[in-house]
Amino acid sequence: MSAPQKVTADHQAEIAARVKAVEAIMIEKGLMTTEAVDRLAEIYENEVGPQLGAKVVAKAWTDPEFKERLLADASKACSELGIGGLQGEDMVAVEDTDDIHHVIVCTLCSCYPWPVLGLPPNWYKMPQYRAAMVRAPRRVLREEFGYDVPESVEIRVWDSSSELRYWVLPQRPAGTEGLSEEQLAALVTRDSMIGVGAPKAAA
């Protein structure tokens, strides 16, 4: 499997050109307006996406009672922060510890907790990722994502479905005791909530 996080500039340009072409056709045929396109972009940039998941993670890092509720019922806990909706009805948060690291995959298609993570990355939907992560998660994390999980740490792979959508509550980085929730949220990455990366280190 080629490294899923490495997308060439040519490939990005090709994808952008295709998107623009589809957008133009839909507008021309009256299926969608320019305003609707702009609104959809705004929603996925500002109202749903990894920044919302980061907000939830930061809250869990600083509020033990909220973390307990999150691990008991992720969808209900997220709704306390006004986060939820389509593809987020039955979410489960699994917590990384010193001894266990979690990683998420969907072996059947690309089920994914949109309200907290936004749109799934292209590599998440690739058959190569879905198959290889189940068979050899430690190797895939190391070779494809540059994320080396120590041999002493158990890796658990969670298979999302239309009934249950998993995501990871990563460990809080060391040296962040004095940071606010907003500052902590800035350290949380989408990849850390999928389990293929770590949160950013404290400055």
Instruction: Give the Cα separation of 199 and 19 in Å (integer).
Output: 31
Classify residue 102 by its DSSP letter: E
Judge whether 154 and 99 are in contact, CB under 8 Å: yes
Q: Where do the H-state alpha helices sit in the chain? A: 9-28, 34-42, 50-62, 64-72, 74-79, 114-117, 122-125, 127-135, 137-145, 181-185, 190-194
Rounded Cα–Cα distance for residues 112 and 177 (Å): 31
How would DSSP label each residue in 126-173?
-HHHHHHHHH-HHHHHHHHH-----TTSEEEEEE--SS-EEEEEPPPP
d(CA 48, CA 84): 9
pTM: 0.78
Q: What would you report as the CA-atom Rg of the chain, rounded to the nearest whole angstrom?
A: 18
What is the set of active-site residues?
106, 109-111
How would you write the pLDDT of the chain (203 residues) with one tens digit per residue? 444 444 455 655 666 677 677 777 877 877 777 777 666 666 555 555 799 999 999 999 999 999 999 999 999 999 999 886 666 578 999 999 999 999 999 998 888 888 898 888 889 999 999 999 999 999 999 999 999 999 999 999 999 988 899 999 999 999 999 999 999 999 999 999 999 999 999 87
Judge contact between 149 and 141, C-beta under 8 A: yes
Q: Residue 143 is encoded by which pair of tokens?
A: 């070779």
| Cβ-count burial 160-176 (b if 16+ within 10 Å, e if not) | beeeebbbbbbebbeeb
CATH of range 50-194; options 3.90.1150.10, 3.40.50.170, 2.40.37.10, 3.90.330.10: 3.90.330.10
pLDDT at residue 3 in the model:
44
Give CA–CA dist 123/1, Å, rounded.
Answer: 10
- Spans of all domains in the chain: 1-47, 50-194
- pLDDT score recorded for residue 111: 87
Going by C-alpha positions, the residue among 168, 161, 124, 166 that lies closest to residue 145 is 124
